[in-house]
Amino acid sequence: MRKLALNDEILMKVEKPARYIGNELNSIVKNPKDVDIRFVMCFPDVYEIGMSHLGIQILYDMFNKREDTWCERVYSPWPDLHKIMKQEHIPLFGLESQEPVKNADFLGITLQYEMCYTNILQVLDLAQIPLLAKDRTEEHPLVIGGGPCTYNPEPIADFFDIFYIGEGEIAYDQMLDLYKNMKAEGAEKREILRAISKMEGLYVPSLYKVTYKEDGTIDAFKPIYEDVPSTVKRQVLVDMTNGVYPEKPVVPFIKATQDRVVLEIQRGCIRGCRFCQAGMIYRPNREKDVSVLKEYAQKMLKATGHEEISLSSLSSSDYSQLEELVSFLLDECAKQHVNISLPSLRIDAFSLDVMSKVQDIKKSSLTFAPEAGSQRMRDVINKGLTVEDILDGSKQAFLGGWNKVKLYFMLGLPTETEEDMRAIPELANQIAALYYDTVPKEQRVGKCQITLSTSFFVPKPFTPFQWAKMESKDEYLRRAKIVNDHMKEQLNHKSLRYNWHEADVTVLEGVLARGDRKLSSVILHVYEHGGIFDSWSEFFDFDRWMQAFKACGIDIEFYNNRIRPEDEVFPWDFIDVGVTKEFMLREWKRALGKTVTPNCRMRCSGCGAKQYGGGVCYEN
* C-beta pairs of 564-568 under 8 Å, 24+ apart in sequence: 564/466, 564/467, 564/468, 564/469, 565/467, 566/467, 568/217, 568/218, 568/467
Rounded to whole angstroms, the Cα distance separating 156 from 133 reads: 10
Report the predicted TM-score, pTM, of the whole model to 2 decimal places.
0.95
- Domain 240-364+579-620 belongs to what topology? Transcription Regulator spoIIAA (3.30.750)
| pLDDT (mean) for 352-367 | 61
Give domain limits for the chain.
Answer: 8-233, 240-364+579-620
> What is the pLDDT confidence band of residue 445, given thresholds at 50, 70 and 90?
confident
Q: What mean pLDDT, rounded, does the chain reach?
A: 94
| Percent of the chain predicted with pLDDT > 70 | 96
pLDDT tens column, 502-551:
999 999 999 999 999 999 999 999 999 999 999 999 999 999 999 999 99
Residue 355 has pLDDT above 70, yes or no: no
Rounded to whole angstroms, the Cα distance separating 616 from 614 reads: 7
Q: What is the pLDDT at residue 362?
A: 46
The amino acid sitting at 471 is E
Q: State the virtual CA torsion across 616, 408, 359, 430 in degrees, nearest 10.
A: -110
Q: What is the pLDDT at residue 349?
A: 46
| pLDDT (mean) for 583-599 | 97
Q: What is the pLDDT at residue 347?
A: 58
pLDDT tens column, 464-501:
999 999 999 999 999 999 999 999 999 999 999 999 99
| pLDDT (mean) for 87-98 | 98
Secondary structure, 3-state, 493-523: HHHEEEEECCHHHHHHHHHHHHCCHHHHHHH
Rounded to whole angstroms, the Cα distance separating 103 from 108 reads: 13
Look at 281 and 362; give whichever has higher pLDDT: 281
Q: What is the pLDDT at residue 363?
A: 53
